[in-house]
Amino acid sequence: MAVLIDGKALAKKIREQLKEECNELKTNKIIPKLAVIMVGDNSASKVYVRNKSRACEEIGIEYEEYLLDENIKQEELIKLIQKLNEDKSVNGILLQSPIPGHLNINQAFKAITYRKDVDGFTPSSVGKLSIGEDTFISCTPYGVIKMFEEYDIDLTGKDVVIVGRSNIVGKPLIQCCLNKNATVTVCHSKTKNLTEHTKRADVLIAAIGKPKFITQDMVKKGAIVIDVGINRTEEGKLVGDVDFENVEKIASYITPVPGGVGPMTVAMLMNNVIKATKEQYNINTKF
Ligand code: GUN
């Protein structure tokens, strides 16, 4: 049976550290603030955003939400982002994706000043990550890396296979794992003979968005399995991209869903808001 990587417990520990840092800032009369923009009415986004606002409240970060009409024009969205860029009381800006199809999300991300880019999605942050400079790292990949560190999992020389190539998770994970000296393969929906790739992974990261897609026969015995998926079954149960019950029998480490990567994403967002605030006030950051 695999060792469970407890993202819930690690996220709690990180949030407690951040609460202390936030209290320190408050003694200097600095109150970090996160502004979240949501466009339209996406039920999954609403749940994610609620989790983010709760975490802010727990840590002592001010939280401001902008709910925009689904028919909003691109220029209006950009105007709001520019206003938040200028607003000195706002330290972090997050545009919740997805946004309606008539809007250009890359252009909107590009409009966020990199100093407040707590999601790590702007071209500046992505570019800096790829050349190994200190920057904001996309929260889910960053959370995965923190899990490896907590469990003393050294990626040096390991074959890491990532399934999924999204801009939010798969692509930044390539850089994060490369920076930890792994040999990285990225697979996607057009990959031929997927199992041949997954089966030789020392570390398999599933970020596909399909319930229980990774089955036991696709996993090498003793592999470390990270499940980034959050899917809801017809019965309303949360399941990951990995067939947990069967894969955990042969893996050496595995993340559960829920309680694995999900809480880490929110914790690392909080980390990035504190980092952004400190950098805006020229205070050294710990992470
Ligand atoms: N949609 C799904 N995950 C994320 C995330 O981490 N950040 C943002 N902004 N949108 C998302």
What is this structure's pTM? Answer: 0.97
Say whether the peptide bond before residue 100 is cis (omega within 30 degrees of 0): no
- pLDDT at position 191 is 98
| Best of 66, 77, 96 for a ligand 1 pocket test (most atoms within 8 Å of beta carbon) | 96
Beta bridge partners of 37: 66, 95
Which tens digits make up the pLDDT trace of 249-274? 999 999 999 999 999 999 999 999 99
Any atom of ligand 1 within 6 Å of the Cβ of 205: no
- The closest residue, in CA terms, to atom 2 on ligand 1 is 97
Any atom of ligand 1 within 6 Å of the Cβ of 81: no
Stretch (H or E) spanning 107: helix 105-111
> What separation in Å is there between the alpha carbon of 203 and the centre of ligand 1?
24
250 exposure class (CB count in 10 Å sphere: 0-12, 13-18, 19+): middle
Q: Domains of the chain, with CATH numbers?
A: 29-115 (3.40.50.10860), 139-261 (3.40.50.720)
- pLDDT at position 47 is 93
Which tens digits make up the pLDDT trace of 182-210? 999 999 999 999 999 999 999 999 999 99
Question: Which residues of the chain register pLDDT less than 50?
Answer: none
Any atom of ligand 1 within 6 Å of the Cβ of 97: yes
Portion of the chain with pLDDT greater than 90, in percent: 96
Which tens digits make up the pLDDT trace of 25-48? 999 999 999 999 999 999 999 999
Q: Could you list the active site residues?
A: 52, 96, 119
Any atom of ligand 1 within 6 Å of the Cβ of 254: no
